[in-house]
Chain A
Amino acid sequence: MTTLSREETDALIAEVLEVYPEKAQKDRAKHLATNDQTVEQSKKCITSNRKSLPGVMTIRGCAYAGSKGVVWGPIKDMIHISHGPVGCGQYSRAGRRNYYVGTTGVDTFGTMNFTSDFQEKDIVFGGDKKLAKLIEEVEQLFPLHKGISVQSECPIGLIGDDIESVSKKAAAAIDKPVVPVRCEGFRGVSQSLGHHIANDAIRDWVLDKRDGAAFESTPYDVAIIGDYNIGGDAWATRILLEEMGLRVVAQWSGDGTIAEMMNTPKVKLNLLHCYRSMNYISRHMEEKYGIPYLEYNFFGPTKIIESLRKIAAFFDDSVKEKTEAVIARYKPMMDEIIAKYKPRLEGKKVMLYVGGLRPRHVIGAYEDLGMEVIGTGYEFGHNDDYDRTIKEMGDATLLYDDVTGFELEEFVKRLKPDMVGSGIKEKYIFQKMGIPLRQMHSWDYSGPYHGYDGFAIFARDMDIALSNPTFKNLTPPWKKVAAEEVKKAA
C-alpha cells in the first residue's frame, strides 16, 4: 500500500465519517486529523480529552482504572483496597504485568486483590464501618505491609461515604500511612483524570512525609517517574542509568515502594517517561523542591542515545564520559540487531492505537527497524500529548483521538498496514482480518521493550508477528481455488 497524500487522507476521514448521524459526524470529525508537521499547536487540528459519544465503541477506562490500575497498583509494599463492589478490582487484578521482586502475600502485594465487597446493605447503610474493620483485618493478616491506599469505586462517591475520616483514624491506630483516594470511576472522561487524582493523593498524603529526615544523598541521585515496569521495563531502564553512574533512588511506581516515594524529594533530577500519567507530580516537585524533570524516551537506539545524552548533560563530566562509553559499548549489539531484522522488516507499515506515551514514544523504535508508522492515536491523550506527537509523525499520516471501534476498523481496511499495535480488545478483530497485531499495552506478554535490552526483544517480537506464516493461509483451500478460477476467467 502506498502512502496517502494529504487530500487522500482527508477524503478517507470524510468517507469513514459518512455513516454517522450529522451531530455525531461533526463531533467525531474534530477528533480525526491528517498530520501536518508545520502545526505548532495540536488543538488547531485535533480535539482531545472530551467525553466519548454515547453509542460508539470506545476503549477508554475509568478514573479508578487510572488510579488503582496504573499509578497506585504497582507500589508493591502497600495494600490497595478496591473499596466498593468486588468486580472492579477482581476483573483487573494482576492484568498489567507490573513485575516486582518480593514474596507476594508476605511483604509485597502487587498481584493480589483486596476489596470491601460491597453488598446492598453497605450501599443503604454506608460502608465506613466495613472499611475500618477491613483495615483492622489487613493489619492482622499482613503485618508486613507498609501502608494502605483506599481506592474508591463508583458507589463510594454516590452514597457519600467519608473515607477520609476513616483513613485518618485507621492511620493513627496502625501507625502506617492510610491514603484515601477519591478516584470514583465516574469522574472525568477517561482514566486520565484518575492519574491526576492519584498524583494529587500522593502529593497530599505521601510525598512530604520524610521532609527534613536525614538522607545520605549523592550528586547523582535520580528518580524514574512514570515507568510501570511492564514486563520488566523499569529494570531495563535502571540498568542503563546505573551504568551511566547515576543512582536510582526511586521507581515510580513499577517495582516501587512507598519509602522510595517519600525519599524522592531528595533527588537531583526526575526522569519522566510516561508524561501523561505523572507530569502532575513532576511539576509539583519542580515547584516545591526545585527538582527539574526531564522527559526521555528509551524505545529504540536512536531515541535512547538522544535521551542518554540529554540526561547526561545535567551532570558532570564523569557521567558524560560514562554515558559515551555506554553508548559505544552497546553499539555493536544494536548494529547486529538492526543488520539482522532490518532487511526482514524494512518498509513495513504500522498503525498504532494505545494510551499514555506509546503512540509517540515507540515511533522511533519502529523507524530504527526501517518500518513506518502511518497512523497513531491516544485513548486518553490531551492536547499536550498531541503537541509532542505531531513532530514525530510523518506528514499526511493519520491521527485519531479516542477512535471508535468502527473507525479504526475502517481505517485499517483502507490503509492496509502490515501490522497493528494496539490492545487485547482489538487483537482478534484484526488478526481475523488477516493483519498481525502486537499488543502494545502489555507487550503481548513479552518484554521488556525499554532500553537496549528491550530493543532486542522488541525487534524479535515484531519479526515473529510479521513473519508468522498463519496470515498467508487465511483463505481456505476451496476458496483459493475459486479465486484462482475467477482470476483465470478474467
Chain B
Amino acid sequence: MANIMIQQGEKGGLVFYLPKRDLEASIESIEFDTPEKWGGELKLDNGGTYYIDPIAKPPRLPISLRAKRLGAAED
C-alpha cells in the first residue's frame, strides 16, 4: 500500500502522484466513475496500474488516498 494523491490535470483528466517516488503520471482510465462509486482500478499512462477502494466521488480534488500496486510501471 502506498500513499498517493489524485488531482485534476491542467488539461483536464486526472493526474496521479506518488510522493514517495515523486512519480507523476496521468490516469488513462478509472474503473468506476459515478457519483456514488468512484475508484477501483487505475490505469496510468506509464503502464502502471493501481487499485483504490471505491468511495463516493470526492467533492473536491486533490485527494490523498491509499493505493495498492497491481502492475508496476516499466519505470
Q: A residues touching B (Cβ–Cβ < 8 Å)?
A: 40-41, 43, 49, 192, 196, 280, 283, 286-287, 290, 382-384, 387
Partner of A283 from B46, B60, B62, B75 at Cβ < 8 Å: B62
Contact with A along B39-53 (1 / 0, CB 8 A): 000000110000000
Return B9 CB to nearest CB of chain A, in Å. Answer: 12
> Which has the most chain A C-beta neighbours within 10 Å: B24, B46, B60, B75?
B24
Q: Is B36 positioned at the interface, with any CB of A under 8 Å from its CB? A: no
> Which has the most chain A C-beta neighbours within 10 Å: B5, B22, B24, B63?
B22
- Contact of B62 with A287 in the complex, beta carbons under 8 Å: yes
14 sample A-B contacts, Cβ–Cβ < 8 Å, listed by A number: A41-B45, A43-B75, A196-B19, A283-B7, A286-B7, A286-B62, A287-B64, A382-B22, A383-B22, A383-B23, A383-B24, A384-B22, A384-B24, A387-B24
Q: Which 3 A-B residue pairings sit nearest by Cβ, starting from the closest?
A: A384-B24, A287-B62, A382-B22
The residue in chain B whose Cβ has the minimal distance to the Cβ of A290 is B60
- Contact of B46 with A280 in the complex, beta carbons under 8 Å: no
The residue in chain A whose Cβ has the minimal distance to the Cβ of B22 is A382
Contacts of B24 in A (CB 8 A): 383-384, 387
Q: B residues touching A (Cβ–Cβ < 8 Å)?
A: 5, 7, 17, 19, 22-25, 45-46, 60, 62-64, 75
- Contact of A287 with B22 in the complex, beta carbons under 8 Å: no
- Contact of A41 with B46 in the complex, beta carbons under 8 Å: yes
> Which has the most chain B C-beta neighbours within 10 Å: A40, A286, A290, A387?
A286
Distance in angstroms between the alpha carbons of A444 and B66 in the assembled complex: 45
Contacts of B7 in A (CB 8 A): 283, 286-287
- Contact of A43 with B46 in the complex, beta carbons under 8 Å: yes
Known: A283-B7, A382-B22. 14 other contacts (CB 8 A): A40-B45, A41-B25, A192-B22, A196-B19, A280-B19, A283-B5, A283-B17, A286-B62, A287-B7, A287-B62, A287-B63, A287-B64, A383-B22, A384-B24
Distance in angstroms between the alpha carbons of A41 and B64 in the assembled complex: 24
Contacts of A287 in B (CB 8 A): 5, 7, 62-64
The residue in chain B whose Cβ has the minimal distance to the Cβ of A287 is B62
The residue in chain B whose Cβ has the minimal distance to the Cβ of A200 is B19
Return A489 CB to nearest CB of chain B, in Å. Answer: 58
Return B28 CB to nearest CB of chain A, in Å. Answer: 12
Distance in angstroms between the alpha carbons of A84 and B70 in the assembled complex: 43
Contacts of A387 in B (CB 8 A): 24
> Which has the most chain B C-beta neighbours within 10 Å: A40, A196, A383?
A383
Distance in angstroms between the alpha carbons of A196 and B75 in the assembled complex: 21
Return B65 CB to nearest CB of chain A, in Å. Answer: 11
The residue in chain A whose Cβ has the minimal distance to the Cβ of B62 is A287
Distance in angstroms between the alpha carbons of A384 and B64 in the assembled complex: 19
Contacts of B5 in A (CB 8 A): 283, 287
Contacts of B19 in A (CB 8 A): 196, 280
> Which has the most chain A C-beta neighbours within 10 Å: B7, B19, B60, B64?
B19
Distance in angstroms between the alpha carbons of A40 and B19 in the assembled complex: 21
Return A284 CB to nearest CB of chain B, in Å. Answer: 9
Contacts of A41 in B (CB 8 A): 25, 45-46
Distance in angstroms between the alpha carbons of A286 and B9 in the assembled complex: 13
Contacts of A286 in B (CB 8 A): 7, 62
The residue in chain A whose Cβ has the minimal distance to the Cβ of B20 is A196
The residue in chain A whose Cβ has the minimal distance to the Cβ of B63 is A287
Contacts of B64 in A (CB 8 A): 287
Check A49/B45 contact, CB under 8 A, given A283-B5, A283-B17. Answer: no
Distance in angstroms between the alpha carbons of A384 and B62 in the assembled complex: 18
Return A268 CB to nearest CB of chain B, in Å. Answer: 15
Return B73 CB to nearest CB of chain A, in Å. Answer: 8
Distance in angstroms between the alpha carbons of A383 and B16 in the assembled complex: 13
Contacts of A283 in B (CB 8 A): 5, 7, 17, 62
Contacts of B46 in A (CB 8 A): 41, 43
- Contact of B22 with A196 in the complex, beta carbons under 8 Å: yes
Distance in angstroms between the alpha carbons of A243 and B7 in the assembled complex: 31
The residue in chain A whose Cβ has the minimal distance to the Cβ of B75 is A43
Return B43 CB to nearest CB of chain A, in Å. Answer: 14
Distance in angstroms between the alpha carbons of A286 and B25 in the assembled complex: 18
Distance in angstroms between the alpha carbons of A382 and B25 in the assembled complex: 12
The residue in chain B whose Cβ has the minimal distance to the Cβ of A49 is B22
Distance in angstroms between the alpha carbons of A40 and B28 in the assembled complex: 14
Contacts of A43 in B (CB 8 A): 46, 75
Distance in angstroms between the alpha carbons of A290 and B59 in the assembled complex: 11
Contacts of B23 in A (CB 8 A): 383
